[in-house]
């Protein structure tokens, strides 16, 4: 029996045999010279490969929408941007012409150059590197290379533990949902597009496992997502232990289905506010069969996709008005545009920044994009007459940032009065706590606003000075780092003293195994992806191990491994 330790991207338990999924497109790239008169034909081959790749992406998009609803639009938006990048295509064509080489060779070399440049920019672009690899392999496959496939035929006909070097969106969506018991990979990350898709399967996802040395096709394994363990060739006592755990988990899920329409509560009867993070209004349809407390975070960036100019005030207004048609009287928290280099559409531009994560974002971008904010805020204000809409200011560091946003709100109100457009005179306003500065200044901020949302994704990377999505960093630091928890606890204490609500809307709120710690710091409001609502509500129903003693023991931990063991123990 071998016990391999990796990093959990999605928890859960699975037992089965392994099947290796390989994408060895790059191993046998044909490299050859062509005659000058063959250049035009080779360019035409390239164009046809691009068309096939685009059609394949549209097919996968359709599969994704059918399986999960329109919850992953950003993934396909990113892939379309790569496929429609004229500079990238021109670079490939230029190599074919200048070096008289075949299309496969030119595609591989051009994408490799782009990937190396992105890697040199640092971990901020890790996710885009994975997307480029996926698109590159899709184009190469369209040119005739062997597509990704299971190495053992059993993976095509029965559920298996999917083992791979890395996940790509194409790979995940090509594998039937009912055939994936778990995903185990060597490379990966919490925020890569492939991981996001894989988590929607509702199965364990573990990365940072040395597959080549330790796992082969047909191995009998147990995947324990809660502890990040992959047990190869388990002995009888281990098999019996996990068979009992899997049976218990199945019974719990059956019970939780009955409770889907009830408000979220812990086993002790403590009422928990459980809301939804929404990236596009289309995701609201995923909430129709489950009780939830509102929209804790409605992102704004979706309205910039698939167009060549910014959304108008009327489009913002109609979008928010339509949201109330789905949620009724439930509160809707709208985060204002969170401008960043990684979220910027092609028709907008920012000055060059050495470190985009520490550059023009949130209030810092107001001066450059004032008209965008003004149009959005006017749309929000007009929609306020149709429901309980609340405004959330992103990337706040101190009160001066709040003042900058408020100045635009005042300007929007004045404009609507002149235009005789109706709006509520008072709507609630909140701040994103996603910088250490905001956490430290929480008392001053919360005295001046109505509520706060904790954005743990950015807060942890700014706190430990380590970019999220960097696999090398994720091996060292836990996403539930004690420093992050201490900052959140301080914010929660301040909010309680001032009788203000604070909601955790970051990625860590989607991990049920973290709730003993999260509840122990006093958090009672969470906002998670619609696909996680049912799981978190279920976990809460059985959650009883939370109090100050849990927190005291947690703060004494000194390493990622100790945190992993502590979280596992708190759940058993």
Question: What would be the CATH architecture of the domain defined by 272-570?
Answer: Alpha-Beta Barrel (3.20)
Q: Once rounded to an integer, what is the mean pLDDT over residues 439-446?
A: 96
Condensed to tens digits (0 to 9), the pLDDT of residues 64-77 reads: 777 666 555 666 77
In CATH, the number for domain 2-23+148-239 is 3.50.30.10
Contact 96, 43 (CB under 8 A): yes
pLDDT classification of 123: cutoffs 50, 70, 90: very low
Residue 217 CA to residue 265 CA, distance in Å, equals: 43
Reply yes or no on whether the pLDDT at 206 is more than 80: yes
Q: Once rounded to an integer, what is the mean pLDDT over residues 410-432?
A: 96
Parts of the chain belonging to CATH 1.10.274.10: 25-142
Q: Please report, rounded to a whole number, the percentage of residues in the chain having pLDDT higher than 90.
A: 43
Parts of the chain belonging to CATH 3.20.20.60: 272-570
CB atoms within 10 A of CB 560: 18
Contact 486, 509 (CB under 8 A): no
pLDDT at 339: 66
pLDDT at 305: 63
Q: Which CATH class for the 25-142 domain? A: mainly alpha
Reply yes or no on whether the pLDDT at 511 is more than 80: yes
Residue 442 CA to residue 456 CA, distance in Å, equals: 15
Mean pLDDT of the chain: 85
Parts of the chain belonging to CATH 3.50.30.10: 2-23+148-239
- The 10 Å CB-count burial string (b at 16+, else e) for 481-510 is bbebbbbbbbbbebbeeeebbbbbbbbbbb
pLDDT at 340: 58
What is the dihedral sign for C-alpha 371, 375, 376, 377? positive
Q: Which residue has the higher pLDDT, 232 or 287?
A: 232
Q: Once rounded to an integer, what is the mean pLDDT over residues 227-242?
A: 89
Q: Which residue has the higher pLDDT, 546 or 436?
A: 436
pLDDT classification of 285: cutoffs 50, 70, 90: confident
Residue 270 CA to residue 257 CA, distance in Å, equals: 20
pLDDT at 512: 85
**What is the helix (H) or strand (E) element at residue 16, kind and residue range?**
strand 13-22
Most confident listed range (55-59, 184-188, 249-253): 184-188
Condensed to tens digits (0 to 9), the pLDDT of residues 314-345 reads: 999 999 999 999 999 999 999 998 865 455 55
| Sole residue written with tokens 């949201």 | 323
Condensed to tens digits (0 to 9), the pLDDT of residues 253-277 reads: 788 888 878 889 988 888 999 999 9
**Tokens describing residue 41:** 């034909």
pLDDT classification of 223: cutoffs 50, 70, 90: very high
How do the residues of the chain divide into helix, strand and coil, expressed in percent and rounded to 5?
55, 15, 30
* Degrees to nearest 5, angle at CA 331 with 327 and 337: 100
Contact 504, 523 (CB under 8 A): yes
Condensed to tens digits (0 to 9), the pLDDT of residues 461-494 reads: 889 887 665 555 566 778 899 999 999 999 999 9
pLDDT at 366: 79
315 three-class SS: helix
For every residue of 124-183, which 3-state class applies, written as one string?
HHHHHHHHHHHHHHHHHHHCCCCCCEECCHHHHCCCEEEEECCCCHHHHHHCCHHHEEEE
Q: Please report, rounded to a whole number, the percentage of residues in the chain having pLDDT higher than 70.
A: 88
């Amino acid at each position: 029996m071998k016990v391999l330790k990796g990093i959990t991207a999605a928890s859960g338990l699975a037992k089965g045999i392994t099947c290796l999924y390989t994408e060895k497109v790059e191993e046998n790239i044909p490299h050859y010279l062509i005659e000058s008169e063959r250049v035009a034909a080779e360019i035409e081959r390239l164009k046809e490969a691009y068309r096939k790749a685009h059609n394949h992406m549209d097919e996968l998009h359709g599969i994704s929408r059918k399986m999960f609803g329109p919850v992953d639009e950003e993934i396909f938006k990113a892939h379309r941007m790569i496929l429609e990048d004229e500079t990238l295509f021109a670079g490939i064509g230029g190599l074919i012409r200048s070096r008289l080489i075949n299309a496969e060779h030119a595609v591989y070399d051009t994408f490799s150059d782009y990937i190396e440049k992105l890697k040199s920019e640092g971990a901020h672009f890790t996710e885009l590197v994975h997307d480029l690899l996926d698109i590159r392999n899709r184009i190469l496959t369209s040119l005739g290379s062997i597509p990704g496939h299971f190495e053992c035929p059993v993976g095509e006909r029965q559920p298996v533990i999917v083992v791979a070097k890395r996940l790509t969106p194409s790979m995940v969506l090509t594998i039937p949902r009912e055939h994936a018991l778990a995903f185990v990979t060597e490379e990966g990350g919490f925020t890569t597009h492939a991981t996001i898709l894989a988590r929607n399967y509702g199965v364990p996802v573990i990365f940072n496992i040395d597959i080549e040395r330790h796992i082969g096709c047909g191995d009998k394994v147990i995947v324990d997502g809660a502890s990040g363990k992959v047990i190869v060739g388990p002995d009888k006592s281990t098999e019996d232990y996990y068979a009992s755990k899997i049976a218990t988990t199945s019974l719990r899920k059956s019970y939780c289905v009955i409770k889907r329409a009830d408000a979220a509560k812990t086993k002790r009867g403590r009422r928990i506010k459980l809301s939804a993070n929404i990236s596009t209004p289309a995701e609201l349809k995923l909430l129709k069969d489950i009780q939830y407390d509102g929209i804790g975070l409605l992102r704004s960036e979706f309205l910039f996709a698939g167009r060549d100019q910014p959304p108008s005030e009327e489009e913002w207004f109609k979008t928010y008005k339509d949201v109330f048609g789905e949620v009724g009287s439930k509160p809707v928290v709208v985060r204002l545009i969170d401008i960043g280099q990684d979220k910027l559409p092609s028709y907008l531009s920012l000055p060059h920044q050495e470190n985009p994560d520490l550059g023009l974002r949130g209030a810092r971008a107001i001066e450059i994009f004032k008209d965008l904010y003004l149009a959005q805020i006017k749309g929000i204000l007009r929609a306020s007459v149709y429901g309980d809409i609340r405004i959330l200011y992103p990337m706040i560091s101190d009160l001066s940032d709040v003042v900058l946003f408020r100045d635009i709100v005042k300007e929007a109100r004045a404009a609507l009065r002149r235009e005789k457009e109706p709006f509520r005179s008072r709507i609630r306003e909140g701040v994103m706590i996603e910088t250490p500065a905001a956490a430290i200044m929480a008392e001053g901020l919360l005295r001046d606003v109505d509520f706060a949302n904790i954005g743990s994704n950015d807060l942890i990377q700014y706190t430990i000075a380590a970019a999220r999505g960097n696999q090398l960093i994720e091996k060292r630091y836990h996403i539930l780092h004690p420093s992050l928890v201490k900052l959140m606890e301080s914010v929660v204490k301040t909010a309680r003293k001032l009788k203000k609500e604070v909601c955790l809307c970051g990625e860590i709120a989607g991990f049920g195994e973290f709730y003993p710690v999260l509840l122990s710091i006093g958090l009672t409001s969470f906002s998670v992806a619609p696909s996680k609502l049912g799981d978190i509500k279920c976990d809460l129903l059985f959650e009883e191990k939370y109090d100050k003693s849990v927190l005291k023991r947690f703060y004494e931990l000194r390493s990622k491994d100790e945190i992993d063991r502590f979280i596992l123990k708190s759940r058993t």
